[in-house]
A and B are shown apart, each in its own frame.
Chain A
Amino acid sequence: MKIARLLLRLYPRCWRDRYGDEFMAMLEAQRLSFTDVLDVALNALDAHINPNLSFADTSLNERVRLLMQKLRSAEIMIFAAWIAFVVAGLHFNGLMDDSPYSPLMGNIGLDLDLHQPLGVTWTVLSAGSMIALLAVLAGGLPLAYAAWQRSPQVRRFFIVPVVAFITVILPPSIRIGLRLAGVIPSHSPTPLGMDIALTVWLIVAAIASTWAVTRAISRADIDVRLMHFAYLPGIVTTLAMALMLGATIAWGVFAHIQEPHLFDSANYFVGYPTAISWGLIVLTMTVSTIIAAMGCIRGMSARGNAEDGALATA
């Protein structure tokens, strides 16, 4: 039964190893209704969030090891979600540069003018991005350093983000250089084709860098205490992402109220945010925040159960 096989695939691998055969036999023995399918999908999510449910037959030491692996994958989930969020945020920021909204944003900074809600939401978004960046650095740099120091075989993976960063930063830098040198007019807009190519390249570079860094971290020999420590900045990152998502949604609502002729334009390819581009950015941010939150819950469950297991072993 194809649907039963598909539903089983929703569960984590270790859950399938433990319950897969009997669960399939049960699914195949009945006619599944829509609510049954929904019920299985929701409970598969629960199994991802509570990895300890898959270890009924596993020894205590093995269980602690597997849970630490889960914690690592939870942290990787948060990191990957943050990268996706950053790409959406950078695109939003790029659309906002020199946009017709700028005069409506007021003084963007710590001196907030509450009469200019677009400026307030933008400032909250900027503050959230700084908090998230600092948290990722606080949690991620010790992990990256430990991976570099203790696992020379993974060092090659760190070349990818460096090369990706250089290739992403180079074209705009050259363009700025050419503007400063007077080769191209100082206020000439970036050609649309180049804009799209740079955005696509940014996404490719982000995916490649995320893949490389997560590969390095998942293969490296990293101290359990560092993994425990990195989880806390992971929570801060997720909260900052939720804050930024809220600010971005609020920005769109205020933009729609204040400047409907700009915001409600049914065009994606303009040099400022419209309902369509804002909607896609919000969608990406929402999915990323949900994934990061799932990583937090998964990590919390893995940490709690690993600690219980470690106490029981002691």
Chain B
Amino acid sequence: MGFSDLGPFSNPALLILASLAGGAKHGYAMMEDIAAMTGTHMGPGTLYGALARLEEGGWIEALPSEDRRRPYRLTGAGAAVLREQLAAVESFVATGLRRLAEQ
């Protein structure tokens, strides 16, 4: 499964990867971190739908549970795919800004 195969889950998945790039976190902490980063609330079902796909794809891995909460961390493959996706976004942003400046 490639990252693009995540379909509608690719955006939430990217946000989760970006959140975990700042360190291991459990579900609720990710949700709060994503809200602080983007100003949007990610629904709990969407978060776990994307989390399960990221774990299935080997981009994140679960750490031992702390009480009932289970933290997750980025794997090497996850960091690589995040870098690749952010580079694509960066290039898109740069192109958009350049075109606006040329107007």
Contact = CB atoms under 8 A, between A and B. Distances in A.
A246 B70 CA distance: 47
Interface in A161-214: none
B43 A23 contact: no
B68 A47 contact: no
Interface residues of B, number: 22
A53 B45 contact: no
B76 interface: no
Query: Closest 6 interchain pairs by CB?
Result: A39-B43, A43-B45, A40-B45, A53-B52, A26-B27, A25-B68
A36 B44 contact: yes
B23 interface: no
A29 interface: yes
Interface of A: 15, 18-19, 21-27, 29-30, 32, 35-36, 38-44, 46-47, 52-57
Contacts of A44: 45
Given A22-B68, A43-B46, 11 more contacts: A25-B26, A26-B26, A30-B44, A32-B44, A39-B43, A39-B44, A43-B48, A46-B45, A52-B56, A53-B49, A53-B52
A39 B49 CA distance: 10
Contacts of B46: 39, 43
8 contacts: A25-B26, A25-B27, A26-B69, A32-B44, A38-B43, A40-B43, A46-B49, A47-B52
B42 to A, nearest CB: 9
Interface string B18-52: 00000000111001000000000001111111011
A41 B69 CA distance: 21
Nearest to A40: B45
Interface string B43-71: 11111110111011000001001011110
A56 B62 contact: yes
Given A26-B27, A56-B62, A42 B56 contact: no
Interface of B: 26-28, 31, 43-49, 51-53, 55-56, 62, 65, 67-70
Contact of B27 (A22, A53, A54, A55): A22
Given A25-B67, A25-B68, A43-B49, A53 B56 contact: yes
A30 B65 CA distance: 19
Main SS of the interface on chain A? helix
Contacts of B45: 36, 39-44, 46
B28 A35 contact: no
A218 B71 CA distance: 37
B73 to A, nearest CB: 14
Contact of A26 (B31, B53, B56): B31
B26 to A, nearest CB: 7
Nearest to A29: B28
Given A36-B43, A43-B45, A22 B55 contact: no
- Kindly name the residue among B43, B55, B67 whose own CB sees the greatest number of chain A CB atoms within 10 A: B43
A21 B43 contact: no
A32 B51 CA distance: 19
A39 B56 CA distance: 21
